[in-house]
Amino acid sequence: MLLFKQLEFLEGVFGRFVPRAANPPPPLQCHPTTGRDATLEAQAREMLRAVGAPSVARSVRVEWSSRLRTAAGRADYRHNLVTLNPLLRTHGADEIDRTLRHELAHLLAHARKGRRRIAPHGPEWRQACCDLGIADEQRCHSLPFPRQTRARPFLYRCPRCGREFPRVRKIRRRVACLACCRRYYHGQFDKRFTLQLVAAPQPSTLSRVQR
């Protein structure tokens, strides 16, 4: 689960609705195996400009990465980067387009809220999906990608609400409970709700966990 830190300030309020094509787009050609995809970047810029986010459009990057295993895509709002799973190619151009819009909605939602903390798939993301033409989008994909179960031996707890956050790796920076920040501090970071480490693996097992 991502605990979001924040990115750019709002450049335009909610942009106009961008409908999806009536018919699925034709198969996209010449996709690189890994790395940046100039064709999808151009499409992403066009969509973001259409909804009033020119600053995000100028810096957005789209790339393919085989490091994604179970996720169809990933959005890094700190670098305006969308990463796509190469397995999407086996499911057609329409699935690539849908996943691209899904991840762009994350970038758009955070750009509109500036430094305010928002939930990964909250109302801000939902509105961004509507503006990008995927109003019925779900939080998680249902594609038959291989599932991977990983131990999460690091356990953190919020000192305010007591909610627990298991993690695969140790958190290297200060992170606060999103629910408490939203409830008590208008969604902005508050050090009073910094997550506290309450359980960790033994040193003998740590190297195997972090491989």
Considering the candidates 11, 41, 63, 103, report the single residue annotated as catalytic. 103
Give the Cα separation of 34 and 22 in Å (integer): 30
Active site residue 46: no
Q: Token pair of 204, please? A: 């003998």
Residue 197: what are its φ and ψ, rounded to 5°? -75, 125
Place of tokens 């994604």: 68
Q: Token pair of 165, please? A: 């956050």
Element (H, E) at 123: helix 123-131
Specify whether the backbone of 45 is left (phi greater than 0), alpha (psi in -120 to 50) or beta.
alpha
CB 33 within 8 A of CB 86: yes
Q: Where would I find the beta strands (DSSP E) of 52-195? A: 61-64, 73-76, 81-84, 154-157, 164-167
Catalytic residues: 103
